[in-house]
């Protein structure tokens, strides 16, 4: 193998730049030409591809987002679009691809490999932490720290005014962010997709805590479980607190990556290049028991990652 490409696809996550840096520099050190593909699969189709070197990735590790930019590409869902992408790779002599992204991005990599035989190594970059077989995905730790910081600040004003705050966080199908941030901030409840919630029972519990003199109340809601406005409408009159809503939104995706995410992204970037050099065809890097390994991407995608619900019980007990 003489040339590889790297792209970031789907929602951005802090640490993607560190992964790009590792892929470029480790690839160049191993005698490869490394090409950066802009705007994910859209850039692959449009030919927005440029060769990168050590200088191209200088000073990017500490930056959030992705210097290659990202997109969600409808055209890549078509056979014609993927054929254009394959022709662009062949024209530049690119023989392998590193795809940094979440479930949709990894799914695209499998289809592309099956149709055109291009070796593809995935790197899981998604703040939802919903990719199976990896303990953590790139960006999760930074996102969680951002959410915790925001909730702690809301807690200050909630205590000052004796209010309840209902905080909506990202997580369409996974309650990881909501649950972990609730535990880390001592929040009164986490409403997550994995566990049905009885809002009447929750309101009754919060009212009892209010009667015992509790000065604030924080409820963290994953967007896939409920909308903060709906929760507020159903319980605000029953819990004994004046209620406010806070939607954290896309602030959760941004910011300089934590040391953990920089290290994870760097290790996964190096392992991805090594996998291509070793002749792997369609695998994804995973963090397992502290080690970076590669696993068959189809196997990963066919398995739904399960949230450790013992942590949910802990959050209920300690709240």
Instruction: Give the rounded percent of residues in the chain with a pLDDT score beyond 70.
Output: 100
> 103 among the known binding-site residues?
yes
Q: Is 120 a residue whose pLDDT tops 90? A: yes
**Contact predicate 206/240, CB 8 Å:** yes
**Burial zone of 212 (CB within 10 Å; 0-12 exposed, 13-18 middle, 19+ buried):** exposed
pLDDT of residue 73: 93
> 105 among the known binding-site residues?
yes
> Do 3-139+257-301 and 143-254 show the same overall fold?
yes
Q: What are phi and psi of 141, to 5 degrees?
A: -65, -40
Q: Is 129 a residue whose pLDDT tops 90? A: yes
pLDDT of residue 142: 98
Mean pLDDT of 199-225: 96
Residue 115 CB partners (closer than 8 Å, separation 6+): 79, 82, 86
**Rounded to two decimals, what is the model's pTM?**
0.95
> 21 among the known binding-site residues?
yes
Domain locations in the chain as residue ranges: 3-139+257-301, 143-254
**Burial zone of 143 (CB within 10 Å; 0-12 exposed, 13-18 middle, 19+ buried):** buried
Cα distance between residue 159 and residue 162, in whole Å = 5
> 163 among the known binding-site residues?
yes
Choosing from 12, 128, 130, 141, which is the catalytic residue?
128
* Superfamily the domain 143-254 falls into: Phosphofructokinase domain (3.40.50.460)
Mean pLDDT of 42-65: 97
Q: Is 319 a residue whose pLDDT tops 90? A: no
> 266 among the known binding-site residues?
no
Active site residue 130: no
Mean pLDDT of 284-312: 97
Residue 103 CB partners (closer than 8 Å, separation 6+): 126, 130, 131, 301
**What is the fold of 3-139+257-301?**
Rossmann fold (3.40.50)
pLDDT of residue 221: 98
Mean pLDDT of 146-170: 97
Mean pLDDT of 131-142: 98
Average pLDDT, the chain: 97
Tens of pLDDT, residues 287-299 = 999 999 999 999 9
Tens of pLDDT, residues 236-254 = 999 999 999 999 999 999 9
Per-residue b or e along 163-176, where b marks 16 or more CB atoms closer than 10 Å to that residue's CB: bbbbbbbbbeebbb
pLDDT of residue 294: 98
If you search the block for the tokens 């055209």, which residue do you land on? 75
Mean pLDDT of 3-23: 97
pLDDT of residue 147: 98
pLDDT of residue 224: 96
Tens of pLDDT, residues 71-119 = 989 999 999 999 999 999 999 999 999 999 999 999 999 999 999 999 9
> 8 among the known binding-site residues?
no
Cα distance between residue 315 and residue 297, in whole Å = 33
> 271 among the known binding-site residues?
no
Instruction: Give the rounded percent of residues in the chain with a pLDDT score beyond 90.
Output: 99
Cα distance between residue 59 and residue 90, in whole Å = 31
> 73 among the known binding-site residues?
yes
pLDDT of residue 225: 97
């Amino acid at each position: 193998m003489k040339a590889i490409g790297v792209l970031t696809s789907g929602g951005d996550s802090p640490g993607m730049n560190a992964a790009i840096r590792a892929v470029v520099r480790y690839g160049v050190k191993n005698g490869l030409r490394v090409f950066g593909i802009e705007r994910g699969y859209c850039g692959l189709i449009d030919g927005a591809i440029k060769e990168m070197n050590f200088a191209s990735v200088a000073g990017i590790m500490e930056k959030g987002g992705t210097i290659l930019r990202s997109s969600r590409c409808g055209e890549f869902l078509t056979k014609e679009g993927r054929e254009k992408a394959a022709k662009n790779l062949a024209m530049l002599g690119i023989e392998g691809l590193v795809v940094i992204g979440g479930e949709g991005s990894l799914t695209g990599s499998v289809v592309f490999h099956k149709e055109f035989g291009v070796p593809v190594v995935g790197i899981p970059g998604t703040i939802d932490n919903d990719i199976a077989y990896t303990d953590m995905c790139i960006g999760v730790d930074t996102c969680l720290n951002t959410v915790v910081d925001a909730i702690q600040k809301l807690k200050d004003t909630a205590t000052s005014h004796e209010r309840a705050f209902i905080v909506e966080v990202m997580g369409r199908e996974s309650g990881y962010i909501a649950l972990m941030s609730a535990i880390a901030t001592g929040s009164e409840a986490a409403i997550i997709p994995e566990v049905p919630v009885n809002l009447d029972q929750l309101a009754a519990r919060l009212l009892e805590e209010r009667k015992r003199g509790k000065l604030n109340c924080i409820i963290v809601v994953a967007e896939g479980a409920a909308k903060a406005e709906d929760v507020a409408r159903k319980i605000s009159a029953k819990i004994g607190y004046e209620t406010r809503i806070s939607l954290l939104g896309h602030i959760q995706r941004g910011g300089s990556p934590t040391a953990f995410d920089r290290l994870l992204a760097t290790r996964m970037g190096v392992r991805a290049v090594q996998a291509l050099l070793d002749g792997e065809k369609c695998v994804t890097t995973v963090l397992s028991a502290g080690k970076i390994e590669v696993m068959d991407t189809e196997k990963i995608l066919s398995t739904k990652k399960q949230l450790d619900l013992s942590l949910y019980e802990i959050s209920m007990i300690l709240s």
